Structures are given as C-alpha cells and as structure tokens.
A and B are shown apart, each in its own frame.
Chain A
Amino acid sequence: MTIQFNDETFRDDYSFYNSERAIKRFPFPFHEDSYMYSVNMEQHRGGPADSVYEKRFDVDEHYVAEMRDRAMVLADDPLRCQSLPHMTLAGWDLLELIMVSKSEDYPDLFELHRDGNNWRWINKPLGIDDSFVFLDETTLPYGPMEYITRQAQGDFCVLDQRDDNLWMDAGMVTTQADWSLDFDIGMNFFEWHAPVPLAHEKGIFVRALKFLLNIQQGAPARRLNWTMTVNPLLDTSPENYHKWGIQKTTLTPENIGAKQHLRVELQTFFRLPRSNALVFPIRCYLCSFQDIMTVPKWGRRLHRVIRDLPEELATYKGFIDNRPMMLDYLKNFDDGQPTSAGIWPDLETEPSLAK
C-alpha cells in the first residue's frame, strides 16, 4: 500500500497526529488488565496484516517527519550517535539488514541494487539515491550505522557479545525514554539496566540476557515496553530533561486527553551475521489518550492498568505526580465490563462504552 507521510513536528508546535489507520495499528502494550515486568519475548516473524508486527522494520506515516526530527537532534548534539572503534563491522551488518529488509518489504519505497560490493540504495520518501562500496567507509557520507539509522525510524543499540554478556558499544539514540547513550556506552547488560527498579530482584534481567545471548541469525525476537510522555515529544532525553521536564506540569483536566501520550516501544532483536553483534532497535510509537479512548477495550484496560500500577513503576516511568489526573480522565472510559485477552483492538467484538 502507498503511505501518505504526515507533515508534522515532534517539538515546538507539536503538530504530530495519528490517522485513523495509525490509531487502529497502534501497538497497545497491555495484553491484560494489569501490568508487571516480565520477559515478554516472542519471535519476530510477522503478524496480522497492516499491524506494526508485519514487517521486519515498520515504516509508517511518521517516517519522513521522524527522520527530520532525528537530523535536528543530531545537529544539536552529535553525541547521540556513537560507535566504539570495534563496532564498525556491526554497523555494516546493520546497514545490510535494514537495506535488504526495507527493499524487500516496501519495494515501492526502497530499492537496493547489488553488484558484488558495488551497491546502489534508493530511498524514495527521503529523496536519496546513493551508490557506494559495501564495507568501504570512505564511500558513505557517515559511518555505516549512522548512515542507515538516519533513514530508519526508532533508536538503535548495537550490542557486542563477549564474556557471556552484551555490551552497549554503539548506538543511534534520539527518541529515548530518558536514558543517555553517551553515559551508558560501553556498559554491559546489567549495568545499563541498573537504574530500573524491581526487575533485578525478580530475575528479569538474568533471564532476558540468557534469551538474548541465544538469538540466532534469521530468528529475530520482539517485545513491547511503554512509558508516558506529555506532548508528542520524541526526544525525551536526559540531556534535554532540564528543557522538557517542565512540560509535565502543563497538564490540565481540559487538555490531558490531547496532551498526554502513551509511549510504546516496539523492541526487536536481530543477530548480525559478520560481527555476531545483536542489534536492538527500539521503535517509539506515540498515541494521545483521546485517540486511545476511541477503542473501547483499550479505554477500559488503560484505566485499570494505570490505577493498579505499583508506585515504584509509576515513579520510575515519571508520571507519579500526574497519575491522579490521568485516573480522573481515564475512569470515564471504564464501565466495568470485562475485556478480551490480548493487545488487539477487537473493535468488531468488544462492546462500546456503556456510560
């Protein structure tokens, strides 16, 4: 299908919006009426037609605007993209994975022509037509990881695997939920997750690491994670927290439906063939509360999840102060009826709001 790319912003006037199609395919992260950490991994082998799971790297209506926003973040702060010296080969692996996947999954938008190591890459939405020599850095305007991730939605962490651990040794991180690549680069799996509450004690990270170390080529995995963001701001970085933190205090009962966004990360994990590194794309989807409420099942469930979330998690996710106002809004969309299992909207089968 042809995608109409939105002309929109993720800063200043926040003209970001979701079309009806985008709302229906929003990756609602709660499969039941409550939430706790778990090793919620599954194989990333496609999914329902037009869902965000269908393609290896989902391209949606926000693509062009997100890439514009990324370029602005990098111009302000080049440290958002870093790669330790031993990670260049993994960068080429990633470039190949994305180019092959996108050209196969979206042939009307992307083309890859390969003649030995002489490659030609055509990215129609961004107006790019570059010829280069694969594995020759001098033939690209940026390093391979930076080059391709300036053309791919979501953050990318490239993890080296050694000593039975994963090491955050390269990344492109401009749409993050409040963590710093510049600070965390070089850390191992347990160290960069150190600030997360509760999950260490539950053994989550030990089990997750075991799973990730064993991901094989051609068998990627995925999971959803989530947090809350006031305004559709992609760059919720700690670097800029002193600028955006104040926006959390601008919620009112009148504007909360439009301003408060559920922020969902589609995290995927691919083994890279030459470097044996693991690439960990973290794709961010934003949806306003009022748009989520157009799906009755999601309205009921979001209220229940936020209401019952342990205090540590609401604090860690940064919305403890706004939770009472959120609940005042969300309770209007919870009529107490049961909800169907799973994350899908089930618009045909779930009852409409009886209130």
Chain B
Amino acid sequence: MSKFTFPESIRSRPVYGTLEARDGSAHLLVADAHGAEAILDVATPEMMAKAHIIYIPKGEAFEDKLRALNAASFYAGPSYAAAEPRLRKALADAKMGLQVYLAGTEGLMGQAQNAAMAAGIPHTAIQTEHRGSIARRMQCVHCKGITEDVETDPFVCSHCGLNLFVRDHYSRRLAAYQGVCIDAEDPGNVPSPKGIYE
C-alpha cells in the first residue's frame, strides 16, 4: 500500500517519518493493520533477536508474515485496548537503550506513544511511520468523549451526538485531535460529511 502524504499543517499536528533500524539494547515494535508493512521493511535478523512485536491486525492479513520474522516475543491481539496491559508491562520492564517503533494508524501510534511517554521516554525519541487508514482519533471538546477512527468531516460525536468539525489541533496527552461543534451559531446547518483530506 502506498504511503499517504499528509498536507502541511499547524505546529501541534504530528509529523510521521519512516522507521529506521537503530542500535539498541532491545526493540519494541507496535503496529496495527498496514503498519505491519513498515515493520517488515525495517526488520533485520539482529533486531528481531532482541525484539518484541505487538500487532493489532484489524482484519488485515499480515500476522503470519510478521510471525515469520521470529521476533524474540510476538503478540497479535484483537484491539489496542486488549494489547495495552502487555505494552505497559513491556515499557515498565524496559532497560536503558530500548528503541521504540510505532507504525500504522494515527490513533494506534498516538496511544502507544502516550504509553511510552508515561514510562518516561521522550516523544522525540520514539520513531513513527504512518501506514494504512487516514482516520483520526477525535476528542469532543464539549463532552470529552473520544471517537475512534473518524474518517469524515464533520462527524457525529459517538458520545453526546453533537456535530463536530475536525481540527488539526492535536494533543499528545490525549492522543487525539480536537472536535468542535460545527453548527453552534446556526443550529441544524451541518454541511454533508466529506473525507478529511478531500
């Protein structure tokens, strides 16, 4: 799958790169869906001997290929929420020199980055590569509820039902973009939803 080029945006919006193998005492790789392809691209036998892969397939068929990399530890799970306790344990057990690689959707990378930051790893030391869906994880600024995998702008908050427009303003602490009521000044006047980058 080809990589999506995000348009230029504001300073709070995350910028993703391309994973590169770095020297490290251990390697923690977290990916969802098409993020598996970024891991397959960066993996080397030396890295895999000291690697822990946490993968959430989301219906994509990369699990067997990833397993075949023979990482020291491999996990495939049904959701980020299911994988999170394992991720937090891996981060809590981590020693100096751990390299963290995140790949896949923005929501997955944001949440895993958040967990790594909570473990004391500076966000600037964490590698990220976007692959797959361009959907966003959105916080409703009004009710504070998070709606996962938002693909359109505007969208309906899955918690309070307000019509929200999709901002580029992003919080690492929440691992979410901000959604703000679109029809506050003209109730009911909600434009028909379009893809976020259309």
Give A contacts to B, CB under 8 Å.
79, 180, 182-187, 190-195, 200, 238-246, 248-249, 321
Contact = CB atoms under 8 A, between A and B. Distances in A.
Contacts of B168: 194-195
B153 to A, nearest CB: 16
Interface residues of B, number: 23
Interface string B101-140: 0000000000000000000000000000000000000010
B10 A195 contact: yes
Chain A contact residues, majority secondary structure = helix
A115 to B, nearest CB: 40
Interface in B69-91: none
Contacts of A240: 142
B152 interface: no
Interface string B149-182: 0000000000000100001110111100010110
Nearest to B176: A183
B37 to A, nearest CB: 30
Contacts of B171: 183-184, 186-187
Contact of B186 (A183, A241, A249): A249
A191 to B, nearest CB: 4
A190 B170 CA distance: 12
A183 B169 contact: yes
Contact of B141 (A180, A186, A190, A194): A180
22 contacts: A180-B141, A184-B171, A187-B172, A190-B11, A190-B12, A191-B12, A194-B13, A194-B168, A195-B168, A200-B10, A239-B141, A241-B141, A241-B180, A241-B181, A242-B142, A242-B181, A242-B184, A245-B185, A246-B185, A248-B185, A249-B186, A321-B185
A192 B11 CA distance: 8
B111 to A, nearest CB: 15
A184 B10 CA distance: 14
Contacts of B13: 194
Interface string B21-38: 000000000000000000
B67 interface: no
A238 B167 CA distance: 13
Contact of B142 (A195, A241, A246): A241
Residue of A184, A191, A248 with highest tally of chain B CB at under 10 A: A191
A192 B180 contact: no
Contacts of B180: 238, 241
B58 interface: no
A321 B185 CA distance: 11
A248 to B, nearest CB: 6
B184 to A, nearest CB: 3
Contact of A180 (B178, B185, B187): B178
Contacts of B186: 249
Given A241-B184, A242-B184, A246-B187, A183 B178 contact: yes
A296 to B, nearest CB: 33
Chain B contact residues, majority secondary structure = loop
Residue of B13, B141, B172 with highest tally of chain A CB at under 10 A: B141
Nearest to B172: A186
B144 interface: yes
Contact of B11 (A182, A191, A244, A248): A191
A192 B13 CA distance: 11
Contacts of A246: 184-185, 187
Contacts of A182: 144
A239 B162 CA distance: 12
A239 to B, nearest CB: 6
A242 B144 CA distance: 13
Contacts of B169: 183, 194-195
Contacts of A239: 141-142
A186 B12 contact: no
Counting from the closest, the 10 A-B pairs by CB-CB distance are A245-B184, A194-B12, A194-B10, A242-B181, A194-B11, A191-B12, A186-B173, A190-B11, A238-B141, A245-B185
A195 B187 contact: no
A187 B169 CA distance: 11
Contacts of A194: 10-13, 168-169
B176 to A, nearest CB: 9
A249 B185 CA distance: 7
Contacts of A193: 11
Contacts of A244: 184
A187 B187 contact: no
Interface string B8-19: 001111000000
Contacts of B162: 242
Contacts of B139: 183
Nearest to B177: A183
A249 to B, nearest CB: 6
Residue of B10, B167, B184 with highest tally of chain A CB at under 10 A: B184
Contacts of B12: 187, 190-192, 194-195
A79 B141 CA distance: 11
Contacts of A192: 12
